[in-house]
Structure 1
């Protein structure tokens, strides 16, 4: 009886050690795969606008009062990030904290503008519910049409000269950051950058 108990204990420990080694090996493989996966940026789906095009210029009414000029080169050297969203878009809501932190961190060179269309009362309720009073918030169907927005959430980065720096469908904070990375590297998208590196 005692011998059988000792054998079962030994077998249990052998199995536990084997499982631990397998988990470690699996963790190592996951790490290797993570390093090999190229960063995925925002997916550009726009048929009308591309990097380097002059951004549509228009003056839009802010939901909180006043106006904001979108596009154009007269903005004191600041870029603009237009983030197109909807109060009933769950992905848009998950990205609002990231937009808030970007608005603060990049305030010296970037203006963040939230844009949508539809009935103003629902947007006012959305602003209050999500604490978006510190954002410039535009409700304009014309704005979305001018930038060829067909799916949400969508973002357009306009550079300090009023040109399209980058744009695309946004599903994560990484997609948002990829717009800035594309502007910095002077490429249309991170995908284009990775393809050019692979080709060379």
Structure 2
């Protein structure tokens, strides 16, 4: 009798183990499907201004402290232009991340801050936020060239003056997605993942 009870118990346990494994496999599959749906998205690419893969117009800009910044000219380094505003809370939150990215990518990248408006407001902003190390340009025309309508916005231009990545950046992942898009030779992470057409 005891042997029969034990045999039944073993059979029931075996069925439960098989059922548990089946449920676990189904859950693993669902997690994979969910991850694919919410795969990391990069900066939101806009379709205005120079397109990705297009050369930018040559411009010479002057920084707040009198340095010259050439845009679109042949050079041995890439440039990241980060459009911001002293009134933009997301821009302020991204500044430490931008400083960190500049250090991490220092071997190939120059980071330039860009905005427009009253000079004294931006000079105060530079002092308050400790941005003296960044070239900081004020130019309404430069922002209009890239049709910057929302902030923060970033444009990555390679050494030959070609736009390699651009878009709205709201967090570290968006900023890093610009570097990744250039590295993999794709217009954007969305395009690479098959979720957006090329501009």
TM-score class, shorter-chain normalisation, is: 0.7 to 0.9
Per-residue CA deviation, residues 91-111 of structure 1 (Å, 9 max, x unaligned), is 000110011011112111000
Could you tell me which residue of structure 2 aligns to residue 44 of structure 1? 45
Mapped to 2, the partners of 1:105 and 1:39 lie a distance apart of 21
Per-residue CA deviation, residues 127-161 of structure 1 (Å, 9 max, x unaligned), is 00000000000011011011111111000000121
In the alignment of these two chains, the number of paired residues is: 168
Where in structure 2 are the equivalents of 1:7-26 lying within 5 Å?
none
Mapped to 2, the partners of 1:132 and 1:193 lie a distance apart of 34
State the TM-score, normalizing by the size of structure 2: 0.79
Could you tell me which residue of structure 2 aligns to residue 194 of structure 1? 193
Instruction: Give the 3-state SS of the residue equivalent to 1:195 in structure 2.
Output: coil
* CA root-mean-square deviation: 2.1
Instruction: Give the 3-state SS of the residue equivalent to 2:173 in structure 1.
Output: helix
Tell which structure's C-alpha radius of gyration is larger.
2
Could you tell me which residue of structure 1 aligns to residue 65 of structure 2? 64
Structure 1 residue 79 corresponds to structure 2 residue 72: no
Query: Retained in 2: the 8 A contact 1:56–1:147?
Result: no
Structure 1 residue 144 corresponds to structure 2 residue 143: yes
Structure 2: stretches of 5+ with no match in the other structure: 1-26
Q: After the TM superposition, which segments of 4 or more aligned residues of structure 1 sit over 4 Å from their partners? A: none
Structure 1: stretches of 5+ with no match in the other structure: 1-27
Residue 47 (structure 1) shift: 2.0
Could you tell me which residue of structure 1 aligns to residue 119 of structure 2? 120
Mapped to 2, the partners of 1:66 and 1:47 lie a distance apart of 28
